[in-house]
């Protein structure tokens, strides 16, 4: 888009907008940089009673460990408290959730996008209502049956629950995506003698990847960021990273555990940074996909 | 698409949603009208029909047998909905007759756990939603004025508060506003009160939670508005300029109407998301000052005594609440589909 007349702004306005933007960027990014910096300090510096400048200079860190930076928080969290186990669980849960919910979602979303009947619309409305319900309300429905049938605490249970909670959103997103793929494409394949599934397999699957990747990113975020389901449905040894952080907070009486939490918070945030860095375009297009079309 | 092939394509997702969303709703409904068996009930059988006081001699075996025979508990109808922890009908009646004026009545009403949680949830939803949309719109306007080369990095940093795990984002802010943290120290400097602590005061906790909410949901509004601004018709803008419209008038009469459908869409999404506010209360350890409906359910479910029935009743009330909130949208969608 070229700069048009309407885009030209007086210098004073541009200055004001620029200043506001700098303020917002500080607001958005500073907390993360501060916590990253502080995670290499000891607790007395990051939570400084005397002077907040200690967190920058690391006075106590130097006195306690002999260097201005220390990896004690990371060592304590990852090795001592076995945060790597939680990390492994998170990998298992997120990968399975993304793969399964995309498989279910592409099939269902494709069906919804190609059905001219009224029930397809009603299914989407039901999905919208399901999407609106806070996951924790469902969790109170899971607990009793899961205890009864000994399903509670295991990773597969949590995976399938997260897949289900993910479905409404996945369906909405993929339906709107498949609607943008011209019907003629698969219908002409069916005229040539393909069955519906063959048409899907040979014609739709090769062209669907951009939409699937975008949807997959959001499924990943949902599974990775979830706290309500994972903290209630997993036993202590099966916890994923996010509820594990919360368990560090529960034991703040013992010194040093807050710094474990700080270190693990940074560890949890790092993959998200990388994700945004590589997939910024897809995330932005995914956020706007449903909206801009109205 | 034929009904038969639709069925097979839709089967996996339908099964997942039926088993793990629809059935749990039924399960929650059923649980909410059953209460756990009380141990004393068994005692009555053991020590005769009369004069049996509540001693500690509980018949463990019979209790267990009863619990195994009827794992749902005993049927109590709507009692749980009306008890003190939920709708508290009789307590409200008592408050109404006892309170000297409306103000006292409402302040005492909010002291009841369910109404306290409801009031925080609604306050949070209806403050965070409009403010985050406004902030997002201003950010979008500012980014739109940036040279193209700077936009990418700006969007990257702006996305962070939204992408990051809610629990983690909450913790990061909470550690900074701790009275020993960097922002806490700054607040103490500003107010001149060295003992100022956000954690200790209910109004400040509410403000912090709402600030966190705006911080974490503004990026979504920003990204959607930014994409919307790219589609504003330039011809209309230019003709408005030729007609002598000022910058503000162009925003007010050209851009905002163009962005209205986006705004309704985002308001819908944000109301759904904000109504389930939960993680920040855990991160801020704010449960003493502010409880949301989701947190209320969570605290019933957690801990040693899992109050499943109580949680189930709150869940049903929460679901009813979200359906009421969304009903205008649902009705509108239904009507627009009827026309098309």
User: Hey, which residues 57-116 in chain B have their CB within 8 Å of chain A?
Assistant: 71-72
Q: Which of A230, A242, A167 is nearest to B20 (CA)?
A: A167
Cα–Cα–Cα angle for B195, B199, B201, rounded to 5 degrees: 80
Interatomic CA distance for residues B132 and B301, integer angstroms: 31
Interface test with A, best of B4, B11, B23, B24 (most A CBs within 10 A): B24
Q: Which residues of A touch B298 (CB under 8 A)?
A: 136, 228, 232
Task: Using CB atoms, pick whichever of A115, A142, A143 lies closest to residue B1.
Answer: A115
pLDDT at position B56, please? 55
Q: List per-block mean pLDDT (blocks of 10 residues) for chain A, which spans 294 residues.
A: 56 88 93 92 81 78 82 88 92 97 95 90 89 90 88 93 94 90 90 90 90 92 93 90 86 64 93 92 81 48
Per-residue pLDDT of chain B (340 residues; tens, 9 = 90+): 788 999 999 999 999 999 999 999 999 999 888 887 776 445 555 565 565 555 556 666 777 777 777 777 788 888 888 888 888 888 888 888 887 888 888 888 888 889 999 999 999 999 999 999 999 999 999 998 888 888 889 999 999 999 999 999 999 999 998 888 888 888 888 888 888 888 888 899 999 999 999 999 999 999 999 988 988 888 988 899 899 888 889 889 999 999 998 898 889 889 999 999 999 999 988 888 889 999 999 988 876 677 888 899 999 999 999 999 888 877 877 777 655 4
CA B173 vs CA A241, B178, B198, B280: distances in Å = 19, 9, 12, 10
CATH number of A88-292: 1.10.3720.10
Residue B35: left (phi > 0), alpha (psi -120 to 50), or beta?
beta
Query: Would you say A4 and B234 are in contact if contact means Cβ atoms under 8 Å apart?
Result: yes
Contact status of B228 with chain A (Cβ, < 8 Å): yes
Give residue limits of the domains in chain A: 31-70, 88-292
Give the Å distances, CA to CA, from B187 to A107, A122, B198, B214. Answer: 53, 52, 9, 19
Q: What distance in Å separates the CA atoms of residue B315 and residue B26, rounded to the nearest whole number?
A: 11
- Give the length of chain B: 340
In chain B, what residues touch A117 (CB-CB under 8 Å)?
Answer: 3, 6
Alpha carbons A166 and A42: distance in angstroms, whole number: 39
| Backbone phi, psi, residue B32, to 5° | -75, -15
**Which of A129, A143, A161 has its CB closest to that of B323?**
A129
**Looking at the complex, does the CB of residue B177 fall below 8 Å from at least one CB of chain A?**
no
Q: Which of B24, B167, B219 sits opposite A142 (nearest CB)?
A: B24
Q: Rounded to a whole number, what is the distance in Å from the CA of A7 to chain B's nearest CA?
A: 8
Sequence-ordered list of residues with C-beta below 8 angstroms from that of A96, at least 6 positions apart, any chain? A159
Q: How far is CA A93 from the centre of its chain?
A: 12
Q: Do A47 and B181 touch (CB under 8 A)?
A: yes
Q: Collect all residues with Cβ–Cβ distance below 8 Å to B167 and sequence separation of at least 6.
A: A225, A227, A242, A245, A246, B279, B282, B283
Among residues B259, B271, B275, B277, which one has the least CA distance to residue B330? B271
Q: If you measure CA to CA, which chain B residue comes closest to A129?
A: B323
User: What is the residue-wise DSSP string for B232-266?
Assistant: S-HHHHHHHHHTT--HHHHIIIIIHHHHHHHHHHH
ipTM: 0.89
B124 and chain A in contact, CB less than 8 A: no
Q: State the angle between helix axes of A209-225 and A155-179 in degrees (0 to 180), rounded to the nearest 10.
A: 150
A266 contact residues in B (CB cutoff 8 A): none
Q: Which residue in A21, A140, A275 is closest to B308 by CB distance?
A: A140
Q: Is B296 on the interface with A (CB under 8 A)?
A: no
Token pair of A277, please?
């860095």
What are the residue ranges spanned by the domains of chain B?
Answer: 35-75, 76-109, 113-295
- Of A223, A227, A249, residue with least CA distance to A77: A249
Superfamily of domain B113-295: MetI-like (1.10.3720.10)
Write down the H helix ranges in chain A. 11-38, 43-46, 54-57, 59-65, 72-75, 83-114, 118-132, 135-148, 155-179, 183-191, 196-199, 205-207, 209-225, 228-233, 241-249, 257-292
- Which candidate, B223, B225, B245, places its Cα nearest to that of B236? B245
- What is d(CA A106, CA A99) in angstroms, rounded to the nearest whole number? 11
The shortest CB-CB distance from B156 to any of A128, A224, A280 is to A280
Host H or E run for residue B34:
strand B34-35
Residues in B 2-41 with any Cβ partner in A closer than 8 A:
2-3, 5-6, 8-10, 12-14, 16-17, 19-21, 23-28, 31
Residue of A nearest to B7 (CA): A111
At B208 the three-state DSSP class reads: helix
pLDDT, residue B100, reads 81
- Is-contact A272 B164, C-beta < 8 A? yes
Q: Is B157 on the interface with A (CB under 8 A)?
A: yes
């Amino acid at each position: 888009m070229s700069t048009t007349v309407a885009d030209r702004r007086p210098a004073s306005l541009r200055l004001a907008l620029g200043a506001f933007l700098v303020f917002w960027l500080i607001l958005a990014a500073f907390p993360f940089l501060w916590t990253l910096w502080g995670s290499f300090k000891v607790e007395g510096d990051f939570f400084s009673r005397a002077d907040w400048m200690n967190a920058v200079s690391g006075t106590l860190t130097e006195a306690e460990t002999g260097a201005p930076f220390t990896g004690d928080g990371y060592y304590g969290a990852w090795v001592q408290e076995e945060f790597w186990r939680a990390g492994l669980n998170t990998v298992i849960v997120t990968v399975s959730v993304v793969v399964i919910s995309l498989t279910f979602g592409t099939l269902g979303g494709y069906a919804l996008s190609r059905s001219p009947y009224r029930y397809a619309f009603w299914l989407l409305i039901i999905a919208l209502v399901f999407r609106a319900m806070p996951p924790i309300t469902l969790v109170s429905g899971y607990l009793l049956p899961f205890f009864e049938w000994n399903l509670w605490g295991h990773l597969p249970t949590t995976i399938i629950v997260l897949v289900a909670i993910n479905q409404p959103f996945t369906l909405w997103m993929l339906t709107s995506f498949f609607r943008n793929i011209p019907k003629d494409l698969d219908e002409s394949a069916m005229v040539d003698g393909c069955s519906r599934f063959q048409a899907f397999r040979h014609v739709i699957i090769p062209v669907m990847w951009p939409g699937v990747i975008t949807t997959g990113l959001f499924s990943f975020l949902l599974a990775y960021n979830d706290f309500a389901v994972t903290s209630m449905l997993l036993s202590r040894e099966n916890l994923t990273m996010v509820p594990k952080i919360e368990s560090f907070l529960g034991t703040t009486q013992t010194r040093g555990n807050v710094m474990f939490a700080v270190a693990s918070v940074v560890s949890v945030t790092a993959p998200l940074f990388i994700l945004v860095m590589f997939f910024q375009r897809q995330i932005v297009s995914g956020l706007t996909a449903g909206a801009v079309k109205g | 698409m034929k009904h038969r092939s639709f069925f097979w394509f839709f089967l996996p997702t339908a099964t997942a949603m039926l088993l793990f969303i629809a059935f749990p709703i039924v399960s929650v409904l059923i649980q909410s009208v059953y209460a756990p068996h009380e141990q004393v009930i068994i005692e009555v059988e053991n020590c005769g029909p009369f004069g049996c006081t509540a001693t500690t001699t509980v018949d463990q075996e019979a209790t267990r047998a009863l619990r195994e025979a009827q794992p749902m508990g005993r049927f109590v109808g709507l009692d749980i909905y009306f008890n003190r922890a939920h709708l508290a009908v009789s307590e409200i009646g008592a408050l109404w007759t006892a309170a000297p004026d409306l103000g006292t009545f409402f302040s005492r009403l909010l002291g009841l756990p369910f109404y306290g949680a409801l009031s925080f949830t609604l306050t949070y939803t209806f403050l965070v939603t409009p403010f985050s949309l406004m902030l997002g719109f201003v950010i979008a306007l500012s980014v739109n004025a940036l040279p193209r080369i700077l936009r990418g990095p700006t969007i990257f940093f702006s996305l962070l508060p939204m992408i990051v795990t809610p629990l983690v984002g909450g913790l990061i802010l909470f550690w900074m506003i701790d009275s020993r943290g960097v922002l806490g120290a700054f607040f103490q400097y500003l107010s001149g009160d060295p003992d100022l602590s956000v954690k200790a005061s209910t109004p400040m906790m509410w403000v912090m939670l709402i600030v966190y909410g705006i911080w974490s949901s503004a990026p979504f509004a920003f990204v959607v508005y930014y994409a919307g601004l790219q589609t504003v018709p330039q011809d209309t803008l230019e003709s408005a300029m030729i007609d002598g419209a000022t910058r503000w008038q162009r925003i007010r009469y050209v851009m905002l109407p163009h962005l209205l459908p986006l705004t309704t869409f985002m308001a819908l999404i944000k109301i759904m998301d904000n109504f389930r506010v939960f993680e920040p209360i855990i991160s801020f350890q704010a449960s003493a000052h502010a409880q949301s409906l989701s947190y209320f359910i969570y605290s019933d479910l957690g801990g040693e005594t899992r109050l499943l029935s109580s949680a189930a009743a709150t869940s049903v009330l929460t679901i009813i609440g979200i359906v009421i909130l969304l009903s205008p949208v649902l009705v509108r969608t239904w009507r627009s589909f009827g026309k098309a």
